[in-house]
A and B are shown apart, each in its own frame.
Chain A
Amino acid sequence: MKKIWIIFLGILAAVVVFPILFLIVGSFMGKNELTGLIQPVLDTNARGYASWKLIPEYPTLRSYVELLLDSLEFFVMFWNSVKLTGGILMGQFLVGVPAAWGFAKFEFPGRKFLFTVYIAMMMMPFQVMMLSNYLVLDSLSLLDTLSGIILPAIFSTFPVFIMYRFFAGIPEAVLGAARLDGAGELRLFFQIALPLGSPGIISAMVLGFLEYWNMIEQPMAFLKTKELWPLSLYLSNITMEKAGVSFAASVIVLLPALLVFMAGQDYLEQGIIASAMKE
């Protein structure tokens, strides 16, 4: 019975991993081979269906060389993605951590109501908030700037929600002991809350990285200048001529996300569990 489960799960895992394999194999294919396989997808005039191979006919690093040495646009967008993701995560760390700490450990009037609003805001998709975001950014003259993407994301409620769970789990006895020892609130925050809540902070950052690294809707809505576009929009501009480059780009884009995931895998699991817990 156990073997059956293992085989079943293995098949499911292979299905899940196939797109990654698809990308890696495609990035080592030559231009002609790629054209023959996926032309029906990228060329509107072509007929038939796309097909695929698991082993390239003539493996080549040409796509990687072209991407890394002859595609300045890729690097511009890569660093745009780094700026956006880094800025958002840093902002969320600066804003979200104190907010979550406050919700978790401070008693003030309307706390419960505010937290409910936070939860409600978290549930709203981007399309709902897009118009109001647009109007605010326009009034702040932040449209078509990276700040216009970063600023709304900094105040995202989701990381607050994740970190809230971890901060709430810190025993009051620990905090009370610290206070008896003469620690102030800031000291409690920096020396008790941050170290003990670090799994929550990291998991929020990992989840945030995975979300904002692949962010596509906000840049498309608020960035008109192509110079500011992140990598997620680069891939949408791929043509048949640059199909190989797009596969290589996808693989390289995947790398930081993979590294982040591997680094924060343990915390991520905790964070996912925390987000699944009900108030």
Chain B
Amino acid sequence: MTNMRQKKIMKGFGIFFTVMIVFTMLSRAADSVNVVQVQVKTIQNQMISHKVTGTGKVVGIREQAVFAKENLKVEQVLIQEGQSVKKDEILLKLSMDSILEAWKDKNDKIEELNLKIKDLKSLDQVNKNKKVFDQDWARRSYDISAQNSSISVDNARLEVEVAQQRLDEFYQNREIARRQAAETEAEESMDGGTSFIGDAGDRSEDTKQEDGFQSDIKKENIGGTSGVDGGETADDTAQEQALIDDLRVKQEALNAAIAGQNQELAAAEKTIEDSQLPEAFDSTLENTERELANSQEDLEKLNQLLMEEGNIRAGADGVVKSLMAETGTITTEAAVAVLYLTGGNLRMTGTIYKEDLKYVEIGSTVSIEGSNGKEIEAASVETIREDETDPDARVISIQLPDDSLSIGETAEFTISKDAGPFKSCIPLSALHEGNGAAYVYVIDSQNSVLGEVWVARRVEVLMKDKNQSLAALEDGSISSDQKIIIDSDREISDGSRVRLQEL
């Protein structure tokens, strides 16, 4: 009984150890599968080559706009953007109805303009004739005014002379009478009166000669006084005063006549000057004539379009850059299409990221691979400008050698710029970033229950530069003998057990 029990126990022992052996092997197999396999590499002294790549489209440098007569309906557009066209190839077709309608309108307008020009010319001639007549009439009016006013003045002057003469005769007669009275009185008394009269008579004569009419009045007064004093009668005095007054009236009339003459002559001269004034320039006729010429040119174009049956053709071989016309729309003054002319230099435009600008500059050499695999090395960056649609992008223009690619072709461009050499370069796959810090995993041996095993250790590093495949670290971040994990078959973390991948 005891032996049976012991045998069972021993059998159980055997089973237990057999099971443990099996699970040991299974566990080892599972462990070998579960342990992360990694590839390692040490830091290397390398150059960092920055490559900026992108896709661009080849365009021409020389452009040609294709225009069509405005306000015509587009019946059919036969091209599309990017399409190659030959010289005289039909690009689009305009509606014949709209061309005929425009032709008729233009004809009517030309006829209308012709009539208008005729009217304007006639009016101009009439105006010129009228101006000549007005000038002649003004001159004649001046002459007549001059003659009439001269007659009036002469008459007034004559009246003054007559009045003066009368006054003079009065004085003479009074003098004669005074002399006669003096002689008579002298005869009666030989003193005084004669010398007094004589002095008065001399003075009166001098005054007359010097001062004219006013002197005559003085002389008259003096004489009067003398006369009174000499015993003149009241009738003489009244007559003298009447004559003086008459002379004054005549003199005023003369002055008025002279003033009137001057006024009339000034008015006549004004009329002459007015008639000679230049008239405002009127360009209506010239404008109308110019409008007529334009209309005739338009008509000529319409005639050509009619002869072409409304077809708009390419002026040269090229590729359609842009197409503004659409079927059913109305043409405008703007071009209906723009062509890149084939031949000569080409340009390629592409987009790069803003952060790649530090690797691209004007004049940088560009490698280009066309869609058919053709490689071009002699290209260079021509311009760099902002992309209006994307603030984080920049549009670069690349000048291509003559006839290297076809207009409209899509090509891959690569711009390279080397930096370094850097002492601590690692593959970019080895560099990890998190929480704003860059780090790598290096392998480290660890004494564990399983023996000496490799574990991943996180080491924070400072990055100096990087490209699509390499990263340059600050010197001293990693020692030259540390093995950096560059690849693993699954995600690893600090302390993960790893084993080196068998190559």
Whether a CB of chain B sits under 8 angstroms from the CB of A134 is no
Instruction: Specify which of A73, A82, A259 is in contact with B450 (CB 8 Å cutoff).
Output: A73
| Cross-chain pair count, CB within 8 angstroms | 61
Whether a CB of chain B sits under 8 angstroms from the CB of A166 is no
A71 touches B27 (CB 8 A): yes
Whether a CB of chain A sits under 8 angstroms from the CB of B23 is yes
Closest to B449 in A: A73
B26 touches A69 (CB 8 A): yes
| A239 vs chain B, min Cβ distance (A) | 13
Whether a CB of chain B sits under 8 angstroms from the CB of A41 is no
Whether a CB of chain B sits under 8 angstroms from the CB of A226 is yes
If A227-B450, A255-B16 touch, whether A75 touches B9 (CB-CB below 8 Å) is no
| B484 vs chain A, min Cβ distance (A) | 26
Whether a CB of chain B sits under 8 angstroms from the CB of A176 is no
B23 touches A263 (CB 8 A): no
A225 touches B447 (CB 8 A): yes
Interface residues on B, range: 20 to 34
A259 touches B13 (CB 8 A): yes
Closest to A78 in B: B20
Q: Which of chain B's residues have a CB closer than 8 A to the CB of A262?
A: 5, 9
If A68-B27, A72-B28, A259-B16 touch, whether A77 touches B449 (CB-CB below 8 Å) is yes
Instruction: Specify which of A74, A78, A82, A226 is in contact with B447 (CB 8 Å cutoff).
Output: A226
A69 touches B27 (CB 8 A): yes
Cα A72 to Cα B5 in complex, Å, equals: 33
Main secondary structure of the interface of B (DSSP, over half): helix
If A70-B34, A226-B447, A226-B449 touch, whether A75 touches B27 (CB-CB below 8 Å) is yes
Whether a CB of chain A sits under 8 angstroms from the CB of B255 is no
Q: Which of chain B's residues have a CB closer than 8 A to the CB of A22?
A: none
Instruction: Specify which of A70, A234, A263 is in contact with B449 (CB 8 Å cutoff).
Output: A234
Whether a CB of chain B sits under 8 angstroms from the CB of A266 is yes
Whether a CB of chain A sits under 8 angstroms from the CB of B433 is no
Closest to A252 in B: B20
Cα A73 to Cα B451 in complex, Å, equals: 10
Q: Which of chain A's residues have a CB closer than 8 A to the CB of B6?
A: 263
Which residues of chain A have a CB within 8 Å of any CB of chain B? 68-79, 82, 225-227, 229, 234, 255-256, 259-260, 262-263, 266
6 A-B pairs closest in CB distance = A73-B449, A227-B451, A263-B9, A75-B24, A72-B31, A68-B23
Other CB < 8 Å A-B pairs besides A78-B20, A263-B9, 20 of them? A68-B26, A69-B23, A69-B30, A70-B31, A70-B34, A71-B27, A72-B28, A72-B450, A73-B450, A75-B20, A75-B23, A76-B450, A78-B24, A225-B447, A226-B448, A229-B449, A255-B16, A256-B16, A259-B12, A259-B13
